[in-house]
């Protein structure tokens, strides 16, 4: 046996992991600044550093990741394909870091975990309250609620601005999810329904025809929304032009309230119509149209599934009681890559 020490570390990622030990938060924000500003000079201005210092930081970053992350040219700098992948992961890491700073800096509740939930507005009607009731008081985290469209929620999730989504997965999201390790847990089947004012002339009809619906005043979501697409399809599929709405609003809460006040019709999630029917604002309108359904799911990145607050929320969502919220059979948990 000779007197030389041998390296017995068999982990191929070990040298890469330790190579990043000297990196600072500024290093990790550098790619985002280059991506936004289009040059190292722009990043230097944002970081209040000289351009040579930023060039050195980029060199250190590229050594740590073992890849060329930025292509520099006469027009500035842009991320390579490898740089874009690295930035995708760094955004998540930085978002979690910023959240940790925020929670740690809060007085009194700093020890309680924070759960940032992105959701469609309909989730607040019945599903989210039911999920929160299943959480033991000792498990209940600090909550930060973000409401947006399906596309907006997905962008916030992969950017690390929220921890999970309670909403729909549409075809666009399935396409955009390539490259992300996601789990989709179906929770509730939510059909759309037609509502009208309690005293509307069609309210007592057993089964209203599409021709009758075409001649009525409607309050619906704006063009480009999923609900508006469904609304237009209900008529186009029968060879009829969709009626022009008398009011356009993206909030189904607003639409249902206004339908009740203006003696008009609207289309909204069934659970929302049920809620407002109980208060006497609107009532269901039975028609011959087959109304489409969508599945509300809990969606999260698997890289964050071990966060205590998200873990407890997932357990609550997976409990057997969830079937009481459904109006039909839901699919099993799906993992997307």
Q: What is the CATH number of the domain that holds 118?
A: 3.40.190.290
For residue 7, pLDDT beyond 70: no
Confidence class of residue 3 from pLDDT cuts 50, 70 and 90? very low
Q: Residue 205, Cβ neighbours under 10 Å: how many? A: 13
Residues 231 and 150 in one domain: yes
Q: How do residues 248-298 score in pLDDT, each as one tens digit? A: 998 999 999 999 999 999 999 999 999 999 999 999 998 888 888 888 999
Domain presence at residue 105: no
Query: Of all helices (H) and strands (E), which one includes residue 298?
Result: strand 293-301
Strand 142-147 relative to strand 265-269, pairing: unpaired
Q: DSSP label at 225? A: S
Residues 44 and 117 in one domain: no
Mean pLDDT over residues 214-224, rounded?
92
Asked if 196 and 264 touch (Cβ cutoff 8 Å), the reply is yes
Q: Say what the pLDDT of residue 97 is.
A: 67
Q: Residue 156, Cβ neighbours under 10 Å: how many? A: 18
Q: Say what the pLDDT of residue 326 is.
A: 38
Domain presence at residue 290: yes
Residues 141 and 40 in one domain: no
Residues 66 and 176 in one domain: no
Q: DSSP 3-state assignment of 83?
A: helix
For residue 128, pLDDT beyond 80: yes
Closest CA to 271 of 190, 188, 169, 186: 190
Residues 33 and 132 in one domain: no
Domain presence at residue 8: no
Domain presence at residue 236: yes
Domain presence at residue 215: yes
For residue 108, pLDDT beyond 60: no
Q: DSSP 3-state assignment of 273?
A: helix
Residues 128 and 185 in one domain: yes
Residues 171 and 202 in one domain: yes
Residues 82 and 168 in one domain: no
CA distances 89 to 31, 102, 210, Å, are 11, 20, 49
Q: What is the distance between the alpha carbons of residues 60 and 23, in angstroms, rounded to a whole number? A: 8
Residues 286 and 227 in one domain: yes
What is the span of the domain harbouring residue 124? 113-337
Residues 51 and 168 in one domain: no
Domain presence at residue 102: no
Residues 82 and 185 in one domain: no
Q: What is the distance between the alpha carbons of residues 219 and 232, in angstroms, rounded to a whole number? A: 13
Tally of domains in the chain: 2
Asked if 276 and 91 touch (Cβ cutoff 8 Å), the reply is no
Residues 224 and 85 in one domain: no
pTM score, whole prediction: 0.66
Domain presence at residue 106: no
Confidence class of residue 159 from pLDDT cuts 50, 70 and 90? confident
Domain presence at residue 46: yes
């Amino acid at each position: 046996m000779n007197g030389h020490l041998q390296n017995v570390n068999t982990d191929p990622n070990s040298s890469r992991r330790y190579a990043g030990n000297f990196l600072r938060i500024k290093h990790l924000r550098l790619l985002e600044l280059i991506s936004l500003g289009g040059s190292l000079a722009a990043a230097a201005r944002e970081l209040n550093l000289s351009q040579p210092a930023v060039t050195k930081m980029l060199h250190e970053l590229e050594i740590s990741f073992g890849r060329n992350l930025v292509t520099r040219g006469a027009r500035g700098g842009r991320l390579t394909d490898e740089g874009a992948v690295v930035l995708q992961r760094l955004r998540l890491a930085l978002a979690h870091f910023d959240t940790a700073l925020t929670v740690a800096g809060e007085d009194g509740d700093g020890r309680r975990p924070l759960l940032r939930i992105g959701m469609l507005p309909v989730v607040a009607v019945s599903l989210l309250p039911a999920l929160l009731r299943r959480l033991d008081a000792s498990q209940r985290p600090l909550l930060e609620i973000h409401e947006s469209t399906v596309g907006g929620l997905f962008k916030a999730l992969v950017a690390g601005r929220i921890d999970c989504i309670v909403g729909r997965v549409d075809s666009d999201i399935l396409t955009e999810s390539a490259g992300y390790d996601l789990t989709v847990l179906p929770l509730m089947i939510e059909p759309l329904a037609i509502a009208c004012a309690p005293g509307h002339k069609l309210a007592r009809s057993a089964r209203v025809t599409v021709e009758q619906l075409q001649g009525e005043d409607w309050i619906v979501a704006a063009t480009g929304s999923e609900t508006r697409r469904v609304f237009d399809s209900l008529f186009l599929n029968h060879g009829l032009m969709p009626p022009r709405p008398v009011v356009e609003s993206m909030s189904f809460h607003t639409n249902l309230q206004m339908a009740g006040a203006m003696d008009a019709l609207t289309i909204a999630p069934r659970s929302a119509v049920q809620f407002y029917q109980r208060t006497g604002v609107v009532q269901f309108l039975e028609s011959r149209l087959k109304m489409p359904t969508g599945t509300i799911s809990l969606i999260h990145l698997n890289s964050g599934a071990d966060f205590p607050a998200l873990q407890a929320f997932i357990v609550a969502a997976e409990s057997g009681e969830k079937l009481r919220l459904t109006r039909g059979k839901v699919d099993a948990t799906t993992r997307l890559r």
